[in-house]
Amino acid sequence: MRKDIQDYILRTPWLRKTIELDLLMLENQLPYFIFTELFFILKKPPYLSKDRTESESHDFFIRITCKFFIDYYRNGKATIKKPGKVELQQLKEIKHFTDLVRQFMCPNSGYPRGPHVKTKCLYTAKQLDRSGVNFMPSDDHSLADIHRTKVTYNCVCIGWKYLKLKVPKLKVEDDTECLMRNVMALEQCLYPCEAHRCNCISPLDQLINTAEDVELLVEKDVVQNFLGSNDAIANLFNKICDQIAETSFCYGTLCEDLNDHHNNSWNVAKATLKSVYLKDIWTRSSSVAFYVLVFSIVSVIATIKDLFF
């Protein structure tokens, strides 16, 4: 039997989870190289031969560290094809465990490029939905994968364009707030000019204001609610960005597009028409039949009027 299975802590889920969170607290961190050196001093793995290089030994310890914290890889996504096989090259310079989870959330290379505009989204998810913005979960596991595309909606020989906003699927659990706050605090202290994870969380804070916004995102499969209450998630995001300073904001252009889309009254009218009269095939059929009937009656009345008057 494997020794890790026999270990009381590792085979007790709630206790292991508590220790994981304790190891991720920013105030509990020690330099990562200390753990690396201690590991190879106290317990040299027999399958690491003597001719292994220092780099290979370091990679080995990174792998087992990633395996221990695998639940936090890409914000807890459950669709990891190879657990523990993370990008080692990006983890070479990690400072401690909190910095490791910061890298887990999303890589440094996955952020929008271009001018950084400090415009924020003025409207919530529910308001944007009423203006025709269609929310969808992103295919990527990265928290940074927030982007929009324009899609043509064809109905009754009419092509309408609407905005599709893809947002990374977010699993909200009991430890989500603790994890986010520690990573954000780390960026405020050590990476003030590269606070990319704060940038990723900020749009979610802007989209979520009330329980209705959370309910919409849950219906769209963007948010997975493991807290049980939509109000709890709304309260979490309403406070998560308090006292957070942003030197730059890489989603400003996206927010400008969303604001412009909502402020266009024609988009609101199209969204209302689609949601009320064209939401499914039966509603569309009945709407078309109604208008055909109205036009037929008007045509008959016009014909009778021409004949007798």
Encode pLDDT of 119-170 as tens digits: 778 889 999 988 888 898 887 767 777 877 776 655 555 556 668 888 888 8
Are residues 239 and 129 part of one domain?
yes
Q: Which two tokens stand for residue 56?
A: 């290979």
Among 55, 74, 105, identify where a domain stops: 105
- Domain-located, residue 135: yes
Asked if 179 and 204 sit in the same domain, the reply is yes
Count of domains for the chain? 3
Q: What is the DSSP letter of 74?
A: T
Residue-level pLDDT at 211: 94
**CA angle in degrees (0–180, nearest 5) for 196-88-139:** 55
Look at strands 170-172 and 223-225 and give their pairing: parallel
pLDDT at residue 276 tops 60? no
Whether the pLDDT of residue 90 is over 50: the answer is: yes
The answer to the question of residue 89 being in a domain is yes
Tell me if 112 is assigned to some domain. no
pLDDT interval class at 78 (50, 70, 90): very low
* pLDDT for the residue numbered 152: 63
Cβ contacts of 43 within 8 Å, gap of 6 or more: none
Confidence class of residue 80 from pLDDT cuts 50, 70 and 90?
Answer: very low
Q: Same domain for 134 and 253?
A: yes
What's this model's pTM, rounded to 2 decimal places? 0.76
Q: How far is the C-alpha of 86 from the C-alpha of 250, rounded, in Å?
A: 25
Residues 156 and 290 grouped into a single domain? no
Residue 226 confidence (pLDDT): 92
Q: Is a pLDDT exceeding 70 seen at residue 84?
A: no
State yes or no: pLDDT of 79 exceeds 70.
Answer: no
Tell me whether residue 119 is in a domain.
no
Does residue 26 sit within a domain?
yes
What is the average pLDDT value for the chain, to the nearest integer? 77
Asked if residue 303 and residue 264 are part of one domain, the reply reads no
131 and 77 in one domain?
Answer: no
Range of the domain at 302: 280-308
From 105, 137, 167, the end of a domain falls on 105
User: Does one domain contain both 174 and 200?
Assistant: yes
Distance CA 240, CA 151 (A): 32
Which of 20-34, 43-57, 133-147 is least confident?
Answer: 43-57
**Which of 72, 105, 138 is a domain's end point?**
105
Is 221 part of any domain? yes
pLDDT at 213 over 80: yes
Q: For the residues 88-114, what does the mean pLDDT come to?
A: 74
Whether residues 163 and 218 fall in one domain: yes
Note whether 138 and 264 are same-domain residues: yes
Q: Are 192 and 247 in contact (CB under 8 A)?
A: yes
In a domain, 110, yes or no: no
**Mean pLDDT score, 71-95:** 59
Tell me how far apart the terminal alpha carbons of the chain are, to the nearest angstrom. 99
Res 285: pLDDT: 63
In a domain, 132, yes or no: yes
Ramachandran quadrant class, 121 (left: phi over 0; alpha: psi -120 to 50; beta: rest): beta
Element of type H or E holding 223:
strand 223-225
Average pLDDT over residues 293-301: 76
Same domain, residue pair 134 and 224: yes
| % of residues, the chain, pLDDT over 70 | 69
What confidence score (pLDDT) does residue 83 get?
A: 41
What is the DSSP-derived secondary structure letter of residue 162? E
Cα separation of 233 and 254, whole Å?
23
pLDDT in tens, 218-235: 999 999 999 889 999 999
What per-residue confidence (pLDDT) applies to 290?
65
Answer whether 254's CB lies under 8 Å from 203's CB. Answer: yes
Same domain, 266 and 145: yes
Same domain, yes or no: 70 and 150: no
